[in-house]
Amino acid sequence: MMAPDDRNMDATLAALLAPPEGPGDRGFAAGVERAIAAQAAYARARRRFWRSFAFEALAVAALLAALWLLSSTPLLAPLAGTAHWGLAPPLLLILLLWFGTQRWRQT
C-alpha cells in the first residue's frame, strides 16, 4: 500500500479531524445553563457579602467617631469614674447603629 500523496493528504486529514456531525447536545447546553446560574448566584452572594462588609465597616467607623467625640465631652467626664459609666453612651450608640444598619440592609 502506498503512502497517500500530497493531493490526498489534505483530504485524509480533513476526514480524520472533522468535527462530529449531529444535532446540538441539549444535555451539554443544559450544563452550561446550570453553570451560568451557579456563577450568577456566586456573584450575587459575593456582592451581598461586600455590601454587608461595607455597612459594618461604616458602622464601626461611626462608632469610633462617636466614642472619640463622647470621650472629649467635658459633661461626661464625671460619669467616666470607677463604675465605667463612660462606656454606656458609646455602647448604646453601637446598638442603635447596628439596628439601624440592619434595618436599612433589609429594606
Partner 1 sequence: MPRLPRNAPLRDEASADEDWALSQRVAGGDRAAFQLLVLRHEGRLRAFLSRAAGCDADDLAQETFVRAWQRAGEYRGQGSYAAWVMGIGWRLFLDQRRTARRREGLAAGEEVTTATDPRPASDAAIDADRLLAALAPQERAALTLCFGHGWSHGEAAAIMGVPLGTLKSLVLRARAKAQKMIGEGADR
Q: Which residues bind partner 1 (CB under 8 A)?
A: 1-4, 6, 9-10, 12-14, 16-26, 28-29, 31-33, 35-36, 39
Question: Which is nearest to 63 in space by CA: 89, 81, 82?
Answer: 89
Work out how close the CB of 48 gets to partner 1 at its nearest, in angstroms, rounded to a whole number: 19
User: For residues 14 and 95, which CB has a smaller minimum distance to partner 1 in the complex?
Assistant: 14
User: For residues 3 and 75, which CB has a smaller minimum distance to partner 1 in the complex?
Assistant: 3
User: For residues 8 and 73, which CB has a smaller minimum distance to partner 1 in the complex?
Assistant: 8
Specify whether the backbone of 23 is left (phi greater than 0), alpha (psi in -120 to 50) or beta: beta
User: For residues 20 and 78, which CB has a smaller minimum distance to partner 1 in the complex?
Assistant: 20
Q: Count Cβ atoms within 10 A of the Cβ of residue 90 and give its class: 0-12 exposed, 13-18 middle, 19 or more buried.
A: middle
Work out how close the CB of 70 gets to partner 1 at its nearest, in angstroms, rounded to a whole number: 48
Work out how close the CB of 51 gets to partner 1 at its nearest, in angstroms, rounded to a whole number: 21
Question: 29-36: long-range contacts (C-beta < 8 A, 24 or more apart)?
Answer: none
The amino acid at residue 101 is T
